[in-house]
Amino acid sequence: MSDTRGGPEPVAHRARPADPADPADPAGPARARGPARSGIGPEGSGAGGEHDGSGEGSGEWSGEGSGEGSGEGEGSGGESLLTVVVALVANALLALAKSVAAVVTGSAAMVAEAAHSWADTGNEVFLLVAERSGGRPRDAEHPRGYGRATYVWSLVAAFGLFSAGAVVSVWHGVTQLGSTEEEASFVVNYVVLGVALVLEGTSFVQASRQVGGDARRWGVHPLRYVAETSNPTLRAVFFEDASALVGIVLAAAGIGLHQLTGDPVWDALASIAIGVLLAVVAVFLMRRNMAYLLGEGLGPQLQARVLRSLLAHPQIERITYLHVEYVGPQRLFVVAAVDLVGDDAESALAVRLRGLEADVEQDPMIEDAVLTLALPAEASLAP
C-alpha cells in the first residue's frame, strides 16, 4: 500500500454523508460514473516502491497534458479477453495432440508437454472466470468493485500450473530416468511439436501485441510492463505462452538427443527441465497475485501523478495525506485529506466533498475515492 503523509493521519473509512444526487442510496457507495476523462498516466505497481512505472504525459483533470493511457483502463478489458480465448483454443488443441503423441511414442518429454498444455488449458478457463468476475460493476456491498476477484482466480490458475504442470512433469521425468524403453516414433513427436510451435506462437503473438500496445501507452519497457501490470490475466497468458515456447524447445532437444545417442535419459531430463520451468513461472505468478490481494501500492512516480491529478482539480487547494492502492486491474482506491478552495460552512463542505469524490471517480483508473478535510496545522504534500 502507498501512504503519503504530511501530518496526523485522518480517519479514512468514515461514515459518509448522504449524497443529494443519489436519494435511493443514502450511503452512496455505488455512485454512477460520469464520462471517462483522461487522468493519472502510466501504470507501474512497483512492489514496495521499488519500481515507479515511469512514462511520459499525464493528461490530468485540468484537461492539459497528452493524456497517455487515457483509454487503457477501459479498452484493455476486451483485448485481454481475446488474448485469453486465443490461448485457450490453442492450448486445448495442443493438449489433445500432445497426449496422443505421448501415448503413441512413450516420450517422457512429450508427457511433460501434454501435462503443460492441459494445465494451461485449465488455467485459461480460470482466467476467463477471472475476467468475468472481476469486471462486474461495483455495488452497495462492494463499493470498490470486484476487481480483486481477478487476482483470486488468477492465483488459482497459477497454482494449477504448478500442481498439474510442474509437479507432474518433474515426477514423470524422475521416474523415467532409469528407463531403457525406446520411443515408437520420433517423427510423430517432431510433427506435434512443430504444430505446437505454430499454435503457441500465434497465442504468444496476440499476448505480445497487447503487451506492446499497453506498454507504449504507459511509456515503459514491455517486459517491465507485463511483470508489473495490475492486469493478472495478461501477465499469466504472456508468461505461460513464453514458457510453452521454451518448453517446446526443451522437449525437441531432449527427443533429438535421445534419437542421436539412443539414451532415453535425455528425454527424461527434458521432462524435468520443463517441470522446473513451469514451477518458476507458477511461483512468480502466484507471488504477483498475492501481492495485489494484500493491497500492493503504487510506485513513487505514479503516486506523484495521482497527487498532481488531485491538486489540478479546481476545488482542491492543498492535500496533506494521500493513500492509494490497487483494488483491481487498472483500478485504484484513493484516500486523501484535502483543503478545499473557499471558506464554506460545515454543511456545505460535506456536500462539496461528496460531489468532489464523484468528480474524482470519473477518472477511468479510480474505482473509489474517499476524501476528508485536512487540518490547518498539517503540512501540504508536494508531488
Strands 366-373 and 316-328: unpaired
Cell, residue 261: 545417442
**pLDDT at residue 234 above 60?**
yes
- The H or E element that residue 332 is part of is strand 331-340
Q: Write the single-letter amino acid at 207.
A: A
Backbone angles phi, psi at 65, to 5 degrees: 95, 170
| Separation of alpha carbons 247 and 264, rounded Å | 18
**Strand, helix or coil for residue 3:** strand
Averaged confidence pLDDT in the chain: 77
- 3 versus 56: which is more confidently predicted? 3
Query: What is the per-residue pLDDT across 338-359, written as a single tens digit (0 to 9) for each?
Result: 988 887 776 788 888 888 988 8
- pLDDT tens string 192-211: 999 889 988 988 998 899 89
d(CA 348, CA 357): 14
Specify the pLDDT at position 17: 37
Which grid coordinates belong to 193?
A: 511439436
145 and 112 Cβ atoms separated by less than 8 Å: no
Q: How far is CA 244 from the centre of its chain?
A: 19
DSSP letter, residue 258: H
Looking at residue 183, its pLDDT comes to 60
Contact 146, 133 (CB under 8 A): yes
The count of residues in the chain is 383
The three cell numbers of residue 293 are 490481494
pLDDT for res 368: 86
pLDDT for 182 equals: 63
pLDDT tens profile 41-61: 555 444 333 343 333 333 333
Separation CA 287–CA 295 (nearest Å): 13
pLDDT computed for residue 37 by the predictor = 40
Contact 143, 30 (CB under 8 A): yes
β 366-373/331-340 pair status: parallel
Mean pLDDT check: name the lowest of 75-84, 187-196, 361-370: 75-84
Cβ-proximal residues to 330 (8 Å cutoff; 6+ apart), any chain:
43, 72, 73, 76, 230, 231, 364, 365
Alpha-carbon separation of residue 366 from 36, 40, 73, 217, 348 (angstroms):
10, 9, 10, 18, 25
**pLDDT (average), residues 165-177:** 87
Does the pLDDT of residue 145 top 80, yes or no?
A: no
**What are the tens digits of pLDDT across the range 255-312?**
999 889 888 889 889 999 999 999 999 999 999 999 898 877 777 878 888 899 899 8
In this prediction, residue 186 carries a pLDDT of 83
How far apart CA 285 and CA 159 sit, in angstroms, is 9
Q: At what angle do helices 186-218 and 232-261 cross, to 10 degrees?
A: 150
Q: Which residue has the cell 517422457?
A: 108
pLDDT at 351: 86
* Residue 150: per-residue pLDDT: 87
Identify the burial level of 23 via C-beta atoms within 10 angstroms of its C-beta, where 0-12 means exposed, 13-18 middle and 19 or more buried: exposed
Q: Determine the Cα–Cα distance for residues 147 and 138; give it in Å rounded to an integer.
A: 9
DSSP class of residue 116? H
pLDDT digits (tens, 9 = 90+) for 180-192: 666 657 888 899 9
